[in-house]
Structure 1
Amino acid sequence: MVSDYRVGHLEDLGRAVGSRGLVSRVVRTRSGPVFLRVVNPEAGGLAEDVTCAPVPGRPDHYFWWSWGECMHRVDDPGGAASKLAHVLQAYVREAHASRR
């Protein structure tokens, strides 16, 4: 069972991405890990699912990208939110530029 500790970190990240114009929600599944789905509301197809877990062999928890790469430490949700906003909004700028 997922600890409230991890859910709390994901909720903190959700508040931080909200202040950057992204929308999010914590998703709990029956068989997989809890994660935070982050979506750019200007381009609904641009989304990222972030998990929270320790680095193997260490007690510290981190946020993780959906492809399994460590993103950012949980004690700085603002820093993680900046990374998410950069990635999700960078694609929007590229898509608009290619339409011109």
Structure 2
Amino acid sequence: MSDKQVEIIEAVKLPVGIKIDGTRHTDVELHPITIGQSYEASMTARATDLQALVDLAVMTYVPKLGRHLTYDEAANASRQDGQRLEMARLALEKKEREQATASA
């Protein structure tokens, strides 16, 4: 078996879309993050920022913008979009575990 890992991405179609600069973005991708990326994001977070949302913003990539969401963009997402992102995060983490198990 090869040690090469396949990039894990969970494509998401948001029901409402996250509004950024007047445009609603409904197509996003979730990417796994490392503990280092999580800590790095925490270091730049405000004291009032929620860690789970900090991580979700770092995980959520908007292909049309070529970047990940900011904390405030993620925080301003609709509840419907938040639920869809949370379901995608769980699916992504399951894929990550399965890949780790398969390559063990």
TM above 0.5: no
Q: TM-score, normalised by structure 1?
A: 0.35
Higher relative contact order, structure no. (Cα contacts within 8 Å, ≥ 6 residues apart): 2
Structure that is richer in helix per residue: 2
More strand by share: 1
